[in-house]
Amino acid sequence: GAVVSQHPSRVICKSGTSVKIECRSLDFQATTMFWYRQFPKQSLMLMATSNEGSKATYEQGVEKDKFLINHASLTLSTLTVTSAHPEDSSFYICSARFGGPADEQFFGPGTRLTVL
């Protein structure tokens, strides 16, 4: 099946620093990638949708200057949390899709971000 990886799996950083999370589709080309945020014991909340070569579409309430998304190729999308603060601590999950809107999204294993 289609595999999506994320790196790193865990990251701890100091408040005020920036953190980059990578999402890769390993065996397929992803036309669209999605970034989600999951708080402990809660559901996944969609943050943004990105298509290769174009700007990401952010969900309402998500600060685009805070969460920078780059979808540089059909196999790689990055999420950069800029000037991270403790409230940004969360589990970030990406997914990728290679087909049309009705096709399945394949999810990465997630990245646990802890901001001290």
Partner 1 sequence: AQSVTQPDIHITVSEGASLELRCNYSYGATPYLFWYVQSPGQGLQLLLKYFSGDTLVQGIKGFEAEFKRSQSSFNLRKPSVHWSDAAEYFCAVGTVKAAGNKLTFGGGTRVLVKP
Nearest CB to partner 1, comparing residues 32 and 78: 32
Site stretch for partner 1 (CB under 8 A), options 12-20, 68-76, 78-86, 89-97: 89-97
* Chain center to CA of 69: 8
Q: Is 57 in the site for partner 1 (CB under 8 A)?
A: yes
- Residue closer to partner 1 by CB (options 55, 85) is 55
Among 14, 40, 87, 102, binds partner 1 (CB under 8 A): 102
Burial annotation 57-85 (CB, 10 A radius, 16+ → b, else e): ebeeebeeeebbbebeebbbbbbebeebe
* Minimum distance from residue 59 beta carbon to partner 1 (Å): 8
**Residue 34 contacts partner 1 per CB under 8 A:** yes
Closest by CA to 35, choosing from 74, 69, 83, 7, is: 69
